[in-house]
Amino acid sequence: MAGEIAVKIENLSFTYSGGEKPALNKINLEIKRGEYLGIMGLNGAGKTTLGLSINGIVPQSTMGFYEGNVTVEGLDTATTPVREMARTVGIVFDNPEFQMSQVSAAEEVALGLENLGVPNEEMPPRVGAALGTVGLAGFEERSPMGLSGGQQQRLAIASVLAMQPKILFMDEPTSNLDPIGKEEVFELARKLNREEGMTVIVAEHEAEVLAAYADRIVVLHQGEIVMIGTPSEVFSRGAELAKIGLRVPQATELALSLAAAGAKDLPVTTDEAITWLEARA
Ligand SMILES: Nc1ncnc2c1ncn2[C@@H]1O[C@H](COP(=O)(O)OP(=O)(O)OP(=O)(O)O)[C@@H](O)[C@H]1O
Ligand SMILES: [Mg+2]
């Protein structure tokens, strides 16, 4: 077992069949247990491919050329069956509606458990517990289609939590949600991370959200890691980010534009910006 390390990626490269360039190119990354890691990058940077390589869909269910090693909670993702990997890594995608296939919320959550071969008598308590965790207690018989976007996405999260994974990967989980739905989902992820110690990995293009929640941010560009660090470290390199088409949080932008060159301890969240500005008023 890897001790404090949840995910260890060594020299990972992957090129999809028919792809001209590698979707991932010589990625090296260690993700600690209990860490909240943000992954930032433009469309096509490789965020989704990185997520799929953490749960084994890449390379096991995806045609392409794969090199390197990925170990997740001691499991080799290239050889551990994807079904087995699903017990360790839960993935939530961007469009909650698209993920819903069942008549009721309870059936939606039970589906993944059936696939894992969980005995029938264990279903109701596990379904109930997962719905409770995401704040949907009592929603068992509700139709997923009748829920708000934020509730649907929380239901999608409940479906993976029922499998009791150690790692939650969310792939732009709020890109189709309104601001209230976004906050519901990110608050839930924060709760799972802080209170349950779950390792959370979020691919996200909104700098503000990563600044507010992530312990560390990885910046992907054309399949390569070009930056890695705390939100302050990454967002203080605003000019470099701009060069690859990424922006910093508005609070940082403000500070960058106000500060003389060489200013230190730039704020990245709105709260930090207030303190930062007050100190200079
Ligand atoms: N199924 C596929 N077949 C061929 N090429 C693919 C496939 N999926 C992704 N790619 C290519 O791999 C590269 C990385 O794509 P990926 O979807 O991982 O990026 P992403 O950062 O998730 O982008 P987005 O923000 O648009 O979701 C891109 O060049 C993309 O065109
Ligand atoms: Mg993607």
Q: Where are the domains of the chain?
A: 5-232
How far apart CA 2 and CA 227 sit, in angstroms, is 24
Quickly list H helices, 55-122.
57-60, 82-85, 96-99, 105-115
Ligand 1 atom at shortest distance from the alpha carbon of 49: 18
Nearest to 150 by CA among 170, 179, 190, 111: 179
Domain at 5-232, CATH class: alpha beta
Query: Mind listing the pLDDT tens digit for each residue in 40-56?
Result: 999 999 999 999 999 99
Nearest to 190 by CA among 205, 181, 202: 202
Nearest to 131 by CA among 112, 154, 111: 154
Cβ-Cβ contacts under 8 Å for 242 (sequence gap 6 or more): none
| pLDDT higher at 103 or 264 | 103
At 206, which helix (H) or strand (E)?
none
Ligand 1 atom at shortest distance from the alpha carbon of 62: 1
Q: Which ligand is nearest to the CA of 218?
A: 1
CA of 192 relative to ligand 2 center, distance in Å: 23
Average pLDDT, the chain: 91
Q: Average pLDDT of 45-73?
A: 97
CA of 195 relative to ligand 1 center, distance in Å: 33
Cβ-Cβ contacts under 8 Å for 104 (sequence gap 6 or more): 140, 141, 142, 143, 144
Residue nearest to atom 11 of ligand 1 (CA): 23
**Most confident option among 112-116, 131-135, 268-272:** 131-135
Ligand 1 atom at shortest distance from the alpha carbon of 52: 18
Residue nearest to atom 6 of ligand 1 (CA): 16
Query: Mind listing the pLDDT tens digit for each residue in 241-281?
Result: 999 999 888 877 877 776 655 666 767 777 887 887 788 77
Give the CB-side neighbour count of residue 155, counting CA atoms within 13 A.
Answer: 32
Predicted confidence at residue 1, as pLDDT, reads 42
Ligand 1 atom at shortest distance from the alpha carbon of 51: 18
In this prediction, residue 206 has a pLDDT band, given cuts at 50, 70 and 90, of: confident
Read off the tokens for 136.
């949907």
CB atoms < 10 A from the CB of 81, how many?
Answer: 10
How far apart CA 142 and CA 139 sit, in angstroms, is 5
Is the entire prediction scored with pTM above 0.95? Answer: no
Residues with CB under 6 A from ligand 1: 16, 18-19, 23, 41, 43-49
At 87, which helix (H) or strand (E)?
none
How far apart CA 277 and CA 281 sit, in angstroms, is 6
Residue nearest to atom 16 of ligand 1 (CA): 46
